[in-house]
């Protein structure tokens, strides 16, 4: 009797908040830790993923991604994947967008890349290499990565050029799912995008109400 192979579903997870993500500074090669809020975001995310059986878990080697992965605490043991590191911003490392635009109006990372860092063509090749590896897996696969690299993965997963990554916002400790159309398995799709746990406090109450939302709509629990 042949065992049916589970379809691939990539759970794309951005790391939790850091001081630089909070202030909008470009964080590529700089190895920075999570804030206390970033750790809380990862713990909240863990509650949403704990019941999902994962076949593989991969993480960027940067400590912000590894710590998020550690706090979410999925099985099996995580593997370090160098291709999951953030875009190399070159001379723009550590700079906020408004400061870059003062120097270079109309600059767009997805169109122009980072001077002395990675070009859009280079990041596209890296994403394609990673996707080729992921397509060799099956079942639920979790990957812990970064904002711009995650947006590039989404565009390349569905066959769009890197320049279209500007249309995919990705919050800290967010969950996105890349998969396939069940009626047309050869068609790559984005099943879920930029979903996150939002903590809200009702007026007059100190109790935080948690909701799992994506663009304003509550998301049912994943199987």
CATH number at residue 28: 3.40.50.1240
Instruction: Classify residue 130: in a domain, yes or no.
Output: yes
11-37 in b/e form (b: 16+ CB < 10 A) is bbbbbbbbebbeeebbbbeeebebbee
Question: pLDDT tens-digit profile of 2-21?
Answer: 567 899 999 999 999 999 99
Element at 44 (helix H, strand E): helix 36-49
Q: CB 163: neighbour CB atoms within 10 A? A: 15
Check residue 103 and give its pLDDT: 93
Tell me the pTM.
Answer: 0.88
Instruction: Classify residue 19: in a domain, yes or no.
Output: yes
Check residue 2 and give its pLDDT: 58
Instruction: Classify residue 3: in a domain, yes or no.
Output: no
Give the domain range for residue 52: 9-218
Q: Annotated catalytic sites, by residue? A: 15, 86
- Dump strand ranges (E) for 45-124: 54-59, 79-80
Number of separate domains in the chain: 1
Instruction: Classify residue 206: in a domain, yes or no.
Output: yes
Instruction: Classify residue 1: in a domain, yes or no.
Output: no
Instruction: Classify residue 4: in a domain, yes or no.
Output: no
Instruction: Classify residue 212: in a domain, yes or no.
Output: yes
Check residue 5 and give its pLDDT: 85
Query: Residues of the chain whose pLDDT is less than 50?
Result: 200-223
Instruction: Classify residue 17: in a domain, yes or no.
Output: yes
């Amino acid at each position: 009797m042949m065992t049916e192979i589970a379809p691939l579903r990539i759970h794309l997870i951005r790391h939790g908040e850091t001081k630089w993500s909070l202030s909008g500074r470009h964080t590529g090669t700089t190895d920075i830790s999570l804030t206390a809020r970033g750790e809380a975001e990862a713990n909240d995310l863990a509650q949403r993923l704990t019941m999902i059986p994962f076949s593989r878990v991969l993480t960027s080697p940067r400590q912000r991604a590894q710590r998020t992965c550690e706090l979410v605490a999925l099985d099996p043991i995580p593997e370090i994947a160098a291709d999951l590191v953030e875009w190399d911003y070159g001379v723009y490392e550590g700079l906020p967008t408004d400061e870059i635009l003062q120097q270079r109006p109309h600059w767009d990372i997805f169109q122009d890349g980072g001077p002395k860092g990675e070009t859009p063509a280079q990041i596209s090749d890296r994403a394609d290499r990673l996707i080729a590896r992921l397509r060799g897996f099956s079942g639920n696969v979790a990957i812990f990565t970064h904002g711009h690299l995650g947006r590039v993965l989404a565009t390349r997963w569905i066959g769009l050029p890197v320049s279209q990554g500007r249309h995919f916002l990705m919050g800290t400790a967010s969950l996105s799912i890349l998969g396939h159309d069940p009626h047309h398995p050869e068609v790559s799709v984005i099943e879920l995008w930029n979903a996150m746990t939002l903590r809200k406090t009702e007026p007059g109450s100190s109790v935080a109400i948690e909701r799992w939302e994506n663009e304003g709509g509550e998301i049912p629990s994943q199987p």
